[in-house]
Structure 1
Amino acid sequence: MKTTSFKNLVKSLLVATMLVFGVSSFAQKASTPKIKNVVLVHGAFADGSGWKGLYESLTQKGYDVTVVQNPLSSLEDDVRATQLALDKQDGPTILVGHSWGGVVITEAGNHPKVAALVYVAALQPDAGESALTWLQSAPPASENGVLAPDDKGIVYYDKAKFHAGFCADLSKKDADFMYASQGAFYAKGFGTNVTKAAWRTKPSYGVVATEDKSINPEIQRNMYKKANAKITEIKGSHVVFISQPEAVAKVIVAASKEVSVK
């Protein structure tokens, strides 16, 4: 009897161990992204440093993240910079754009390594449309501080309105750094039409920043709906990816797991 009981106990332990390892293996497979590469594209009045929090969140989750430094000299130049980053990826990639960066990824997203696009409080024009096409489709918030182009054709954000209009949910200290590090954005970019919209052939995800004072949230919703993007609304300013990196990371992670990889 004792021998039989011991054998049954060993058998039960073996079965339990197999079940545990089986469940663990299944859970690991379920949490592993099908796409591990992410390329982040910043917008106007900013630079790549703003992505730090999101970069840290994604890399801790096992993603390989590349941050593009846009020259902001033209749509063509920004697309070229993004394509160079995409060339270096070793497989399918999620391409993420913020604000003006949405226009950039719409064009650059035609790159063969791009599996899906994520728009974060971003512009998502169609072919034949420009950033201005959508920016002029609804009145700007009173906090919006985009100035007229200077004598060199460069557009800056009004320092007096930068905190409230661009990044109200960040500290003044962080807002001051962001203002000091913004790129010189050439206004001609806003008026340049997209030639081929990548979201026409690739899945897209759109994050609406509900407290955005730089791009009217209604404009974001209208663009995303037109593109049939999967929409997530997050309460935050125009730089919601800085104030709530985990919430934005969740959208990118979902895209990496949901999109079919050929």
Structure 2
Amino acid sequence: MKQQTTTRNRNTWLMALLLLSTLFIMASAKAETPKVKNIVLVHGAFADGSGWKGVYDILTRKGYHVTIVQNPLTSLKADVDATNSVINAQDGPVVLAGHSWGGTVITEAGVNRKVASLVYVAAFMPDKGESAGKWVGAAPAAPEAGFTAPDQFGFVYFDPAKFHGGFAGDLSKAQSDFMCASQVPIAGKCFEEPVQNVAWKTKPSYGIVAKSDKALNPGTERTMYTRANAHITELEGSHVVFISHADEVAKVIMAAAAN
């Protein structure tokens, strides 16, 4: 009888231990699972969505569902519509990340109810009534930077003679040359169109300052992010920091997905 009681107690203890272990494993798995699995990436001017390839590869390997917007760059509304089309197709909440001009786009599109948080990567972060152009002129332009005058169709290009030093200084010359040759122009009027809706006022925001940025002054980036009470990360990179420092940028996006 005593042996039966001992055996029963041992089994009870083992079952309790197994239950605790199972609960611990479940809790750990839950803690490691991000709150948001859908990531939507928005490119800026003079580029297209392919620049996000490195970040895309990292995030998809981590199990995130990543979609990249291809902005028409013809007006703020057109880019916001293109972004909302992608957001609406997601099956749950979204982390919305934008580079450069894409920051203006996500500020508007981010009011979409599916957007949980925003990530600004060397990006504009305007308030209501402000345009990207206001912030372009907030600090003296770097000598390495320059844009062409609008052509007969109203499109503006990054000056090809300054593209490497002003836009992609920490990439190889060969990679920069290809990006320059394939750059997507933006309608100049986009930079003068004011924002009407401001997502960062009601949603968690993250800002990445590219400390060697020549296209958008790093101090301007920092000022906008600070005003918005964004979580700020500073990286030693050029304007295309999301290409040259894809790992670090992906980590910020994952942090946004986890919080």
Equivalence for 2:212:
211
Equivalence for 1:48:
49
**What residue identity is the alignment partner of 1:96?**
A
Per-residue deviation at 1:200?
Answer: 1.3
Q: What aligned pairs does 1:117-132 form with structure 2 within 5 A after superposition?
A: 117-132=118-133
Secondary structure in structure 1 of the residue aligned to 2:39: strand
Secondary structure in structure 2 of the residue aligned to 1:212: coil
Partner Cα separation in structure 2 for residue 72 and residue 28 of structure 1:
41
Partner Cα separation in structure 2 for residue 175 and residue 23 of structure 1:
49
Per-residue deviation at 1:24?
Answer: 3.9
Equivalence for 1:81:
82
Does 2:115 correspond to 1:111?
A: no
Partner Cα separation in structure 2 for residue 166 and residue 107 of structure 1:
25
Partner Cα separation in structure 2 for residue 20 and residue 169 of structure 1:
48
Post-superposition CA distance 1:40-79 (Å, at most 9, x none): 0000000010000000111111111110000001111001
TM (norm. structure 1) is 0.91
Per-residue deviation at 1:7?
Answer: 11
Post-superposition CA distance 1:125-144 (Å, at most 9, x none): 00100001111111111111
Does 2:34 correspond to 1:33?
A: yes
Partner Cα separation in structure 2 for residue 246 and residue 25 of structure 1:
28
**What residue identity is the alignment partner of 2:28?**
A
Q: What aligned pairs does 1:236-255 form with structure 2 within 5 A after superposition?
A: 236-255=237-256
Distance 1:110 1:8, change over 3 A: same
Equivalence for 2:58:
57
TM (norm. structure 2) is 0.92
Partner Cα separation in structure 1 for residue 170 and residue 87 of structure 2:
31
Equivalence for 2:71:
70
Per-residue deviation at 1:184?
Answer: 2.1
Q: What aligned pairs does 1:54-203 form with structure 2 within 5 A after superposition?
A: 54-203=55-204
Secondary structure in structure 1 of the residue aligned to 2:180: helix
Per-residue deviation at 1:148?
Answer: 2.1
Partner Cα separation in structure 1 for residue 235 and residue 8 of structure 2:
56
Q: What aligned pairs does 1:227-242 form with structure 2 within 5 A after superposition?
A: 227-242=228-243
Aligned-pair identity in percent equals 58
Partner Cα separation in structure 1 for residue 14 and residue 165 of structure 2:
61
Equivalence for 1:3:
none
Partner Cα separation in structure 2 for residue 137 and residue 9 of structure 1:
73
CA RMSD of aligned residues (A): 2.1
Per-residue deviation at 1:23?
Answer: 4.5
Partner Cα separation in structure 1 for residue 70 and residue 78 of structure 2:
11
Matched residue count: 257
Per-residue deviation at 1:150?
Answer: 1.9
Secondary structure in structure 1 of the residue aligned to 2:197: coil
Q: Which stretches in structure 1 are left out of the alignment for 5+ residues?
A: 1-5
Equivalence for 1:222:
223
Partner Cα separation in structure 2 for residue 11 and residue 93 of structure 1:
45
Per-residue deviation at 1:10?
Answer: 9.3
Per-residue deviation at 1:13?
Answer: 8.3
**What residue identity is the alignment partner of 1:154?**
F
Partner Cα separation in structure 2 for residue 14 and residue 213 of structure 1:
63
Partner Cα separation in structure 2 for residue 170 and residue 20 of structure 1:
49
Distance 1:243 1:21, change over 3 A: farther
Secondary structure in structure 2 of the residue aligned to 1:194: coil
